[in-house]
Structure 1
Amino acid sequence: MRGLNVCVLGPAALIVTAVLIALTPMTSGAAEQRQPLSVTDDQTAAATDSPAATNTSETIIAADGTVCDVTDAAITWGLKESLRSYISGTIANGEWTVSDGATYETPDFGWTAGSGQLDAGSGTLAFDGSLRLTGHDGILDTTLAGLEIVFDGSTTANLVFDVFGTTQEGLPVDETDVEFATIDVSSITVAAGTALLESAPVVLTEAGSDAFGTYPAGEEFDPITVTFSATPDCMPQPQDVNQALLSALIIIGAIIAILVAIAIVLVLGRRRRRNRAEAM
């Protein structure tokens, strides 16, 4: 009986240890998951003390520490350099025009005064402004309007457009809320109350390819730069996904350890019973 108790207590201790290890990252991660990757204590204090974070009549309103109402978002984006060169060249013999708040200063298009709300890393920033591309004696006449950036708290955001007019092939298009491209937001930072996503990769989606024409899904467009006022807690939290994955892997490991421990108990118990039977 004493031997059996040792065999049972040993794996039992292993099980308890594995469970505690599995739970530790989840509980400690909950306290840490609000901390953006590149925010220091000094930067957090600066963000809290900044007028943007404390004055509700200005660019950001913090509610419950996780919600930001943004009114000063700005985008700098060249769309695609090779496309601009093609449109302005002798083959397409075309041009681009901006209106309704969008701007162009070589080599980038710009959108300002974007507004929206972020709640613990998820939400939408919307921008006024239209970009019209024309060429091939009017065959190409595509307008991109209603720009939005949609965050979901992961390392990828969606760049959304209304697309209408005609494609380069002359095909009519009239699509709203097209998830035009994805943006890699894993490098987003926040300091002194300002979020910065600088030169982030942009990749055309299947929906964007269908609406825009010219390029296949997966085509890389020019990198995009986005700024807006924010506090650390309301920012997109790409590291949360990594923490969740790590916690899941640890839990799986703990479960495997538990199963192995149970198997050891059963095998040892069966062996001891067999040895007793043979001794009798």
Structure 2
Amino acid sequence: MEIPTINQLDLSIDQQHINQSQPQSNKNLRVKHSNVSIGSILFKQFNICSITFPLSIVLLLYFWILFIYQQVSDKLLSCVLYDCGAKFRPDILHRSQFYRMLISIPQFGGISHMIIGFITIQMYGYISEYKYGKWKYSLILFLSGYSSNLLSSLVYPYNLTVGGYGIVFGTIVLYGFIIIQQKQMGQYKKLIIGIYFLVFCINFIPIISTNQIDIACIFGGILSTLFMGIYFQTFSFNRGNYISYGALLLELIYLITGTILILIMEVDDIQISRFC
């Protein structure tokens, strides 16, 4: 009986094949990594045919129209924002101007507010829209903007404020949910998380430089987006539905109760129009 042996020629051919294929594999690997750019990390899922792109352009143009009008009319920017519907609770209560709670949602309170907010929406709006879909994404941002005005009205009733940062922090918090869910983020995980927290902190700067933003505006947007983000999450365990509907119930209680309070709680009748 003959025992089969290994042909040394076959081994040399295999080794030659391995040696030839290894550089090609490394080459393909290098090409794959060369396709990664800063734009693909910072502006994920960028898409002109989306809700985020026209929304950000409208927000940008709306601010610059108001800014140019302010320069031409030689008024304070706060007076221009007030004329165009900025939130002011005494007017809501004493002159029935509830529309200010809605019209002021897309307004920015200053140049720094607009620039930082616009860049933030570009960074996190597209991927948040891709994750949640157009309708859920639009609903969350609208409620976040309204909640920004609502909490500001309750905490600082005499502040003239805008709800633009509700939209901005809506996109930030939604992306935070995506980071939590995404277990594998690749070799750029630390960079992505580091940039996220840096952007989150930078968005507090306009509170110092802009009179039309207060801390309640920011936390109002965060609070509403947290409730809605939890509601739209898909939980893998059986009692996950209780958490989802519980978050929705808290959101409804907060919005309804807060709206009733700003309509019935008494505030002094201060008229900003006297100073503009």
Q: Please indicate, yes or no, whether the TM-score normalized by the shorter chain is above 0.5.
A: no
Q: Which has the higher strand share?
A: 1
Give me the TM-score of the superposition, normalised by structure 1: 0.29
Structure showing greater Rg: 1
Q: Which has the higher helix share?
A: 2
Give me the TM-score of the superposition, normalised by structure 2: 0.29
